[in-house]
């Protein structure tokens, strides 16, 4: 399995606080069957002022330490980027890194308030050639009232990333129910750990993969934790791999025109 969202780098945000914690998280991930992790610390203006070159340097340093420790885990880089108006400029300058330097980027909306121009901001990134991967929509406090925002964004080319722990109840019954809806309805592109610690929020995916297999199928569960994450690792175009069932069923039902009919006129040009 490949984990595209994990706060493994020590002492850089609210994830691992020490190198020992990072090493233990890495061992937990390997034992769970994870072979590659994207190290994705927060970039949150005014709180976590991380930037691309420093993140890449830290990832390289941690990779060397893992190899010296005999931990068979490959690392890549990225960031859990808070959705703010400056995102496009940060991507242009390299201050905000994409996942592995490719077309995909983790995009974190505000947890408690629907951001102004939420969909329009994501459309603009798609129009600029990126594939925004919306992180943990199931854990946003406003998601139930705006579920259609996320299905609209998935139709437009954004990806949805559900947290593995949410799918198996580690964030409570409400979040579990919403996570199951995103996965079961077929709008989820990837599962990721969003690992922060060696405890409840550890970097594991096997249990969530098994739950996804029950909700959908074993084939789709594998796509959630391996095939699509590998496409991110290889920077493949989204159309080169099977989409999630929700999009596939709409395409097969002849709704392709309907899928884009609600997009802003400037985006459809």
Q: To which CATH superfamily is domain 2-268 assigned? A: Metal-dependent hydrolases (3.20.20.140)
Contact in structure between 77 and 55 (CB atoms under 8 Å): yes
DSSP string, 59-94: HHHHHHHHHHTT---EEEE--EEE--TTHHHHHHHT
pLDDT at 248: 79
Where along the chain do its domains lie?
A: 2-268
The average confidence (pLDDT) of the chain is: 93
Burial (CB count within 10 angstroms: exposed 0-12, middle 13-18, buried 19+), residue 51: middle
Confidence of residue 45 (pLDDT cuts 50, 70, 90): confident
The CA distances from residue 120 to 105, 138, 158, in Å, are 17, 20, 12
Q: pTM value?
A: 0.92
- DSSP class of residue 175? H
Better pLDDT: 266 or 1: 1
Residues 52-90: pLDDT tens digits?
A: 999 999 999 999 999 999 999 999 999 999 999 999 999
Confidence of residue 255 (pLDDT cuts 50, 70, 90): low
pLDDT at 253: 63
Q: How many CB atoms lie within 10 A of CB 111?
A: 12
Token pair recorded at residue 155: 């139709």
């Amino acid at each position: 399995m490949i984990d595209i969202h994990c706060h493994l780098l020590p002492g850089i945000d609210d994830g691992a606080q020490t190198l020992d914690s990072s090493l233990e998280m890495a061992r937990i991930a390997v034992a769970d069957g994870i072979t590659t992790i994207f190290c994705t610390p927060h970039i949150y203006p005014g709180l976590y002022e991380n930037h691309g070159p420093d993140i890449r340097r830290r990832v390289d340093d941690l990779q060397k330490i893992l190899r010296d420790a005999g931990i068979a885990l490959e690392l890549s880089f990225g960031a859990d980027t808070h959705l703010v108006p400056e995102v496009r400029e940060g991507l242009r300058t390299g201050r905000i890194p994409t996942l592995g330097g490719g077309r995909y980027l983790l995009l974190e909306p505000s947890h408690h308030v629907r951001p102004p121009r939420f969909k329009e901001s994501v459309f603009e990134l798609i129009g600029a050639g990126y594939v925004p991967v919306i992180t943990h929509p199931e854990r946003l406090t406003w998601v139930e009232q705006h579920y259609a925002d996320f299905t609209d964004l998935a139709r437009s080319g954004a990806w949805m990333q559900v947290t593995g722990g949410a799918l198996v109840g580690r964030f409570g019954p409400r979040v579990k129910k919403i996570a199951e809806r995103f996965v079961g309805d077929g709008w989820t592109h990837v599962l990721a750990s969003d690992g922060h610690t060696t405890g409840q929020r550890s970097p594991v995916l096997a249990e969530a993969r098994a739950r996804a297999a029950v909700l959908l199928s074993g084939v789709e569960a594998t796509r959630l934790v391996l095939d699509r994450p590998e496409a991110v690792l290889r920077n493949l175009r989204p159309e080169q791999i099977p989409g999630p069932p929700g999009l596939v069923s709409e395409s097969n039902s002849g709704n392709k025109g309907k899928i884009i009919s609600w997009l802003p006129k400037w985006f459809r040009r």
